[in-house]
Structure 1
Amino acid sequence: MKLTIQTPIAKNYKAVFTRFDLELFKKLKPPVVSLEVERFDGCKKGDEVHLIVSGKKWVSHITDFYQDDNEIYFIDCGVVTPAPIKSWTHIHKIKKTGENECVIIDDIDFSTGNSLMDKLLYPALLAMFSLRRPIYKRELS
């Protein structure tokens, strides 16, 4: 199932990307979730992120990184995900919309292996990722 959230930011897209670090990652944590970061390599291809999310292991590998004159993106793929999630791909895109403006796009594709369960999980994930919007604006503008 696909989930996409866009957040406009009043800053240059390259400057915004430099802030995608462990400090920002921790600030993006939803308030209802406990989070322990075991490993955070960064956002480039080959990097890994190892987490304990509400007591459950989550491991993502950064499988792609791209940068040009209009956008920067990286893709994290869940290789160990907590039930009920069986597959997870998250494209983090920062797209230039002006000299000092950009949009952050969280483009997520997930599956539990059951379409009904995907539909039930969708509103919770939408709510959790929507909570990132004011944090992005506060921390990155």
Structure 2
Amino acid sequence: MHIILETVVQAALPDVWSGFDRKLFDQLSPPFPPVEVVRFDGCLRGDVVLLRLNFLVFRQDWESLITDQQTTTNEIYFIDEGVRLPFFLRYWRHRHRLVRHESGGTVVIDDITFRTPFRLLDYLMYPLLWAQFAYRKPIYKRVFKA
């Protein structure tokens, strides 16, 4: 399954890139499930992010590896891929794209590909994951003002 969400923010591309840090990551965590950040190396190739999701009666670890990061004049992106995923996911690839906007701002693009153990579950998870990432849009706008 594939999810793409775009958010235009007022800040310039270099400012948005420098703001993709642990502080922003903490703000982007949705209210449910509560997320504990066990490890956050950053957004460069080889960095690791380890999260612990708390579903109240059980916990699941989610470990991702930053497998690529590129910078050009008009775009900066990094890709995190799931190494150890919660039971309801079998595959995870999230390309975080920051693209220079003609207004002088930046377009933040969450480009996500995922699979669950069952095709039907893919369709059931799609609106839940979409909502989890749509939750980020007002946060991006608030954090990245000109």
Give the TM-score normalised by the residue count of structure 2.
0.94
Distance in 1 between residues matched to 2:103 and 2:142, nearest whole Å? 19
How far does residue 113 in structure 1 lie from its aligned partner after superposition?
3.1
SS at match of 2:108: strand
* Amino acid aligned to 1:14: P
1:1-141 equivalences in 2 (<5 Å): 1-54=1-54, 55-98=59-102, 100-141=104-145
Distance in 1 between residues matched to 2:44 and 2:102, nearest whole Å? 24
SS at match of 2:126: helix
CA-atom RMSD in angstroms: 0.9
Check conservation: 1:63, 1:76, Cα contact below 8 A.
yes
Distance in 2 between residues matched to 1:33 and 1:22, nearest whole Å? 18
SS at match of 1:98: coil
* Amino acid aligned to 2:69: F
Q: Percent identity?
A: 43
SS at match of 2:42: coil
Distance in 2 between residues matched to 1:5 and 1:51, nearest whole Å? 22
SS at match of 2:25: helix
Unpaired runs of at least 5, structure 2: none
Give the TM-score normalised by the residue count of structure 1.
0.97
* Amino acid aligned to 1:53: L
SS at match of 2:101: strand
SS at match of 1:129: helix
Distance in 2 between residues matched to 1:3 and 1:114, nearest whole Å? 17
Unpaired runs of at least 5, structure 1: none
How far does residue 99 in structure 1 lie from its aligned partner after superposition?
6.0
SS at match of 1:77: strand
